[in-house]
Structure 1
Amino acid sequence: MDAGVEVVDGEAAHDAPSLCMGGEDLKGFLQQDEGMECVVAVDLGGTTMKGGLVARDGTCLHIERRPTPRTEGPERVVAAVSALVSDLARPRPGVRPLAVGLAVPGLVTAEQAVFSAAFGWRDVPASSFT
């Protein structure tokens, strides 16, 4: 596990607007083994990214915190989010991620992060994060 990663289990889920992808966009990306259905949820903040596996009832099954490399440029932030999503979606016993939800500061659509002053983004495709 990378330095600066904090893993916390058992925290409550928080409601936040999100950029969500599922279905065909993630076909083959997430594991398809039997287990508790959940989503990979990521909250991208200016200093910290928080991500976890969240069950249908809102129970957080696994949570990680990592620094956001904002000063290293937009491409590095996107790469860090993608790495966090990949790590959270990796095969693990008893869980089956079905989709990814991403909360970011700024204007977003289902297809792209339209604008985020905090990260210097303009028209970043949602597929860049997975």
Structure 2
Amino acid sequence: MNKKSGTSKDTADKLVRGIKRKTRKHYSAEEKIRVVLAGLRGEESIAALCRREGIAESLYYSWSKEFLEAGKARLAGDTARQATAPEVKELRSESAALKEVVADLTLENRLLKKSMIGNGGDDE
């Protein structure tokens, strides 16, 4: 009997964890920045801010650390950024088009060389 109740408890725990994962709030970059800046202003304690926003203090501190590190990297001159999906798609299509042009020009170049060699041999 204990095995059955333990198994159903495990199943229930997994179900609850799955529901929590799927209903977890995802914060946009703007929301994270707003919260971090509110904390940096110091108008209220971090604990009070986190309670008001419904986040854990550890989450606030991780956002704060990321925010400050990104600012530090930007000020240090590291301006590299990740490409967005549309930019990647556009660059791939441009690359494919350029490869086609190179292939066409290479083929045309070879044909011209063959015709020059063929004509040169006939003239002599």
**TM-score, with length taken from structure 1:** 0.18
More helix by share: 2
Greater relative contact order (CA < 8 Å, ≥ 6 in sequence): 1
Normalised TM-score (structure 2): 0.19
Select the structure that is richer in strand: 1
- Larger Rg, first or second structure (1 or 2): 2
